Structure 1
Amino acid sequence: MLSVPIRIFMPLDDTMRDLNFCDMTPDKTPSTSNGCSGQSKPTFMATNKKFLFSLVLFLEALVIAFALMERFPPSGDDYSYLYQAKLFASGELYAQDALYDGANPLHNCVGTSCIADNHGRRFSKYPPGWPAFLALGALTGTPWLIDPILGAILVFLILRYVGQRMGENLVNVAGTLLILCLFVCYYTASLRAHIACALFVFAAFLAYDASQQRPQCSRLLLFGAGALLGYSSMIRYLDWIPLAAWIGVVLARRKMFTQLTFFAIGFGLLATGNLLYDTLLSGHPLETPTALNHSPGIHDRLMVSWTGLQLTGVRLVNLLWVFPPALLLVVLWKRYQPSSKVNMYLALFLMNVGIYAFYPAGAGGPGPRYLLAYFPFLILAVVDVRRWINHDCGAGPRRLWTLAIILQIVASVSFVTKESYASYWRRDLQ
């Protein structure tokens, strides 16, 4: 075996190396054909790098939570989740008090429409999974800490997967994309459920992926994948569907019905928590808190409509605004030939987009936040584009990558500026 010297780089140095010259050969061994020496990095150094990127995102989220939001719920969704978390922390499912006075100017900012009032029982209109997590922070007086911790864990899992399945030299690319995307950091700093749901969905994907690598443990791993997706349904009602459908179809096509049964049992055990919660609130297992909220018009309803298709287009445009590197998948599509694994990433993400085409209206508008649960898969697809650019070594794609990174920085500054203005405006009415 060819022995090569071990050289230790700081993560930013590695990132610049990856962004410019070094490439990977198909067997994931660093190539020396372009003058870059191969690197055989100790496992602990690779792990430390992943921890470092996770720590950076964690600190970014805390800066946003303290400096931008000042630990004030920036939306009605945040307020609703925090309200329910405080109820859970006090051992209650609901409160029995009046809604805020609609004449109060704060009413329009905290969005009391996100809190249901059903026969004198007041509670959040959202499922209980995320408030249950947030209740841990409410008990300790640190609800602002829960999402950043989960976000850091999510980043570590993404980078670990990239290192194992795509190559350690691409960890810097994935980590840089994540910490430069302040859209992700902003929701990691919030009190909303999107990052927690993304964590559970991605963890379920990792369990499914591991089941493909370890057939002897496939039943247990698929049971775990089902349980993780089941709990994700208690965080957000719809986001479990794409991955569950994908896993179910794959197992059925392979006639792995025993494994499919274990997956379904794991999902059912956790997902039925929604039915129990609904029964305790309303006395009917299929009457959700969202239904009890009686939102006007088409809000909080699933339907087929032209409006849903239009809003899906708006969501995708907004997604490109907050994450411009995704444009590379479109611009380079004819030259870039994705592997079956990358096609799976894109299929899962697009299935998530398709699911929300049936959700034509929400109180917060058609933001790209609805797509956050499968955003890690979009990151993985873009990272693979970078791998292809490294291998291609063409000047044109490399310039496009550099432009995409510059646009990402500009987009992040624009996004944070916009959210800062909105946050300060809301606090002026506090």
Structure 2
Amino acid sequence: MNRHNADKQSSAKDFRREWAARGFLILTGVALLASGLFSDLGWLAERGIAPFDPRHPAHERYMAFFPGLLIITGVLSLILGTWRYPLFALQRLAVESPRKALGGLLLLFLVIAGWIAHGPFRNYPFCMDEYNFFYQAQIFNEGRLFLEFPEKFSIFTEQYVIFDEGRLFSKYAPGFPLLLAIGVLFGLPGWVNPLLALATLVVLYCFITTFIDRKTALPAVVLMASTPYFLGYSASYFSQPLALLLTALGFYFLRQFQLTEQTRYLILCGLAAGYAAMTRPLDAFCLMVPAGFYLLVILYRKKQLPRVVYPLAAFSLLFGIFLTYNYLLTGRISIATYPIVEGEFKVVDRQATSFIENLLGIAEFYWINAKESLPPLFGKHFLLPTAILTPLFALVGVFRWKSGWKWVLLANFALLVLLYNFHPGTGWPQYGARYYYSGYFAVVVLAVCGLRGILNRIGTSAAVYAFAAMLLLHGAFSATAIWQYEHRFEVVMDIWQDIERACPGEQTLVLLDKRSSLYRSPKLAAVRFVDLSDFHRNPFMDPSRLHLKHFRRLNPREVRENFPDHTPCIYRYDILRE
């Protein structure tokens, strides 16, 4: 009888929790609908989001998008809150057929990422970093390591391009351009990163199933795939998605060795770290330190320390190829393909006179950078791109997860933040979200472990609604982020088309001039972060048309004297002066 009463009380408690969650979804839907239909969204302007101020040049564009987004999100909230069937049908599919559910999720993600890459992002490398990966991939696709470039044209070399004794090549490591070259070969470069992201989701699923059941691994896939952070980079030409995949593979192979003790996983772990070094060396370091230390702990406990030679040998093989590549380009064996400026890694302008003084200088540097970079790190550069909740749940996971793996994963992300944000060698805090993108695998795993405990506590039915609410938040953030970048890239493409109109094909030299105040343009007002370097191309993209960066000015007379075969064309961003 007592057991029957306990079950009855538990069922009643679950029922109340479910209806509380449903009520929250319904109220959220009503609030969103009311905001979208009746509010002027001026309260957002009061919170510092300037475009919602009617006086802002981009106000009309923002008001044409956000009310509609609020209405759509509100309608979805009402549907999910009042109609029980869709959510619980999906939940039942995830429990009864997790492989089918995973396949459906992966297919849906690939369609969305491919559409973003070829739709809003226009299948084009807009950022200078992306340019360089794509151009080096084109060079590799021709079976070459570099381009021969005449000395007299050296003034046309672009940012992030190395000109060394008549050789022209990207400064970046070759790992990602090698894979991108396969996409170039088949005419599908825009699908390389979506496919790498797809593989990352599979590895995430497999990794989590070694700790928790499959029905918990599926929400992890959804959690990662739905954030603007992951969707945006998965549709780009950046190398970060490959670094994320290699980090995930490194941890997955280490976990498999821990479970099976098979040597092949040690070799595969070393290969993942080695190719990560060929892709983003600093990210590889942030993988190798925690993973390597944990591997030594595992081998020590198993009394198998000599087996550490397997991952070291595999890593050394690929790292040796990387150093050889750099030697063939520059004649130097170094991690970077570009010369390190003398004194770059000094903490202060003058040489430290003692070890203690140097340590104090480093501590001062870190303290100054911490004050400058931590607020944006835990704001617009990480919390917003990840839709706020994921890193918060990751903190819960750090405290609740009992496995030693939480320290390995936490160390991976913490090292990325530490080295990129406060590295004395950079001379400035690099707190852009992309710098610690390869640590997002660790964050999601920790978040799932934290989220699992919370959802188990509130009961299955309420957990389904809570997870649905989180997905709606992710969807709203993702739609906003993709929309904003779509406008940015639209502006860039408008400028390129205007350049083609102003400087037709027979005029082979374009001088980009920046003497006017372009940032007052209404067109640029909606995309405040547009960098004018986005509008420049490397000269070897189209050898018949040479483009000069704005800060390397030559007047028309100097052009005619030095390049008599070239007709100068001066372009001053006329399209931005409405």
Common fold: TM-score over 0.5:
yes
Match of 2:448 in 1: 383
Residue of structure 2 aligned with 1:314, choices 359, 366, 376: 376
SS in 2 for 1:52: helix
Shift of 1:86: 0.4
Shift of 1:359: 4.1
> For 2:342 and 2:161, how far apart are their aligned partners in 1?
10
Shift of 1:178: 2.2
Shift of 1:400: 8.0
Matched AA of 2:318: L
- 1:245 to 2:311 alignment: no
> For 1:60 and 1:295, how far apart are their aligned partners in 2?
46
- 8 Å CA contact 2:276, 2:284 repeated in 1: yes
**Structure 1: 5+ residue stretches without partners:** 1-16, 22-35
- 8 Å CA contact 1:51, 1:156 repeated in 2: no
- 1:415 to 2:500 alignment: no
| Gap change, CA 1:362 and 1:418, over 3 Å in 2 | farther
> For 1:371 and 1:166, how far apart are their aligned partners in 2?
26
- 8 Å CA contact 1:50, 1:171 repeated in 2: no
Shift of 1:236: 0.6
Shift of 1:379: 0.8
Match of 1:4 in 2: none
| Gap change, CA 1:99 and 1:81, over 3 Å in 2 | farther
When the two structures are superposed, what TM-score results if normalisation uses the length of structure 2? 0.59
| Gap change, CA 1:362 and 1:76, over 3 Å in 2 | farther
| Gap change, CA 1:53 and 1:363, over 3 Å in 2 | farther
Shift of 1:327: 4.5
Matched AA of 2:111: L
Once the two structures are superposed, what CA deviation does each residue of 1:59-113 show, in whole Å capped at 9, x if it has no partner?
Answer: 121111111121121200111001000000001111123699999xxx9xxx931
> For 2:428 and 2:125, how far apart are their aligned partners in 1?
15
- The alignment of Structure 1 onto Structure 2 pairs a total of residues equal to 383
| Gap change, CA 1:249 and 1:296, over 3 Å in 2 | closer
> For 1:275 and 1:297, how far apart are their aligned partners in 2?
21
Matched AA of 1:149: L
Residue of structure 1 aligned with 2:437, choices 352, 365, 372: 372
- 8 Å CA contact 2:154, 2:163 repeated in 1: no
Shift of 1:312: 5.3
Residue of structure 2 aligned with 1:344, choices 408, 415, 431: 408
> For 1:296 and 1:402, how far apart are their aligned partners in 2?
53
Residue of structure 2 aligned with 1:47, choices 76, 99, 111: 99
Larger gyration radius, structure 1 or structure 2: 2
SS in 1 for 2:383: helix
- 1:80 to 2:132 alignment: yes
Once the two structures are superposed, what CA deviation does each residue of 1:204-263 show, in whole Å capped at 9, x if it has no partner?
Answer: 111110000012x1x331121011100110011111123311232234345342122212
Matched AA of 2:406: V
Once the two structures are superposed, what CA deviation does each residue of 1:283-320 show, in whole Å capped at 9, x if it has no partner?
Answer: 1112722337x79989xxxx953464333553342111
Once the two structures are superposed, what CA deviation does each residue of 1:339-378 show, in whole Å capped at 9, x if it has no partner?
Answer: 2233433232222222223447599963211111121111
> For 1:51 and 1:87, how far apart are their aligned partners in 2?
36
Matched AA of 1:242: C
| Gap change, CA 1:100 and 1:238, over 3 Å in 2 | farther
- 8 Å CA contact 2:149, 2:167 repeated in 1: yes
- 1:261 to 2:309 alignment: yes
**Structure 2: 5+ residue stretches without partners:** 1-17, 23-88, 346-360, 497-578
Matched AA of 2:331: G
Once the two structures are superposed, what CA deviation does each residue of 1:144-177 show, in whole Å capped at 9, x if it has no partner?
Answer: 1111111111111112222342222213321221
- 1:184 to 2:184 alignment: no
> For 1:275 and 1:412, how far apart are their aligned partners in 2?
39
Output the aligned Cα RMSD. Answer: 3.7
SS in 2 for 1:91: coil
Match of 2:191 in 1: 145
Whose RCO is larger (CA < 8 A, sep 6+)?
1
| Gap change, CA 1:39 and 1:388, over 3 Å in 2 | same
- 1:275 to 2:323 alignment: yes
Match of 1:5 in 2: none
- 1:355 to 2:422 alignment: no
When the two structures are superposed, what TM-score results if normalisation uses the length of structure 1? 0.78
| Gap change, CA 1:41 and 1:370, over 3 Å in 2 | closer
Greater shift, 46-55 or 190-199, is seen at 46-55
Shift of 1:117: 1.5
Match of 1:325 in 2: 389
- 8 Å CA contact 1:251, 1:257 repeated in 2: no
